[in-house]
Amino acid sequence: MPPVTAHRRTEFASLPALALTAALVMLSACSAAALPSSSASAAPSAVAVEVPPSPGPSTLASASPPPRPTIAVVKVTPIPNAPDSKTVVTIVAARVRWVPNTLTAPAGEVWHVQIDNQDGPPEIHNFIVASGNTFPERIYQSPNFKKGIFTFDVPALPAGNYLFICTVHPEVMTGSLELR
Ligand SMILES: [Cu+2]
């Protein structure tokens, strides 16, 4: 008698589990047919909810136009036929950093930057003078250079505050340049 009871108990115990499995299979089949399912398959239904086209394109359309007018692009062009100040400004590039990261140079005259690049291959750097972070604001750009000491002629620019940037490593090799 006791063994039979125990056997029946296991049968009854396994029945709800089978029914639940069947229900889960049906639920996932239903969600594949785009019917909302609350509990069993949250991830697939969430992905399906985000598919409707109205939020995506409208958000993109409203987001892309505003940022462009808010960027203040300051275009500066070199002063033609300016005298040479004969000033040489020295700077070191080491461990993918400018040392120092602030420079001062003469305004209204050509000047020269002498760069001691201590970073060996595969690292390369360049030296850009810019009025801002956007591409059109780049005023002067040296060629890329490898390890060694290089001197570049920087054209004459109006007095003011500029940036000097290595565009290979702009996140960590950007400094401030004051022309006065
Ligand atoms: Cu660099």
Cα 161 to averaged position of ligand 1 atoms, centre (Å):
21
CA distance 133 to 153: 21
Cα 120 to averaged position of ligand 1 atoms, centre (Å):
11
Cα 84 to averaged position of ligand 1 atoms, centre (Å):
27
Phi, psi (degrees; rounded to nearest 5) at 111: -135, 175
CA atoms within 13 A on the CB side of 49: 9
Predicted pLDDT at 154: 98
Amino acid at position 127, single letter: F
Cα 170 to averaged position of ligand 1 atoms, centre (Å):
7
Amino acid at position 40, single letter: A
Q: What is the mean pLDDT of residues 117-121?
A: 96
Cα 78 to averaged position of ligand 1 atoms, centre (Å):
24
Predicted pLDDT at 66: 63
Q: What is the mean pLDDT of residues 77-103?
A: 98
Query: Could you tell me what percent of the chain has a pLDDT over 90?
Result: 60
pLDDT band at residue 101 under the 50/70/90 scheme: very high
Cα 159 to averaged position of ligand 1 atoms, centre (Å):
26
Cα 128 to averaged position of ligand 1 atoms, centre (Å):
10
Q: Taking each helix axis from N to C terminus, what angle separates 2-32 and 42-50, rounded to the nearest 10 degrees? A: 10
Average pLDDT, the chain: 77
> Measured in Å, how far apart are the chain's first and last C-alpha atoms?
104
Predicted pLDDT at 19: 43
Annotated domain spans of the chain: 2-70, 84-179
pLDDT tens, residue by residue, 8-47: 444 444 444 444 444 444 444 444 444 444 444 333 333 3
pLDDT score of 138 more than 90? yes
Residue 67 CA to chain centroid, in angstroms?
16
Predicted pLDDT at 21: 41
- Are 24 and 40 spatial neighbours (Cβ–Cβ below 8 Å)? yes
Cα 27 to averaged position of ligand 1 atoms, centre (Å):
56
Instruction: Map residue 172 onto helix, strand or coil.
Output: coil
* CATH 3.60.9.10 at 84-179, yes or no: no
Instruction: Map residue 39 onto helix, strand or coil.
Output: coil
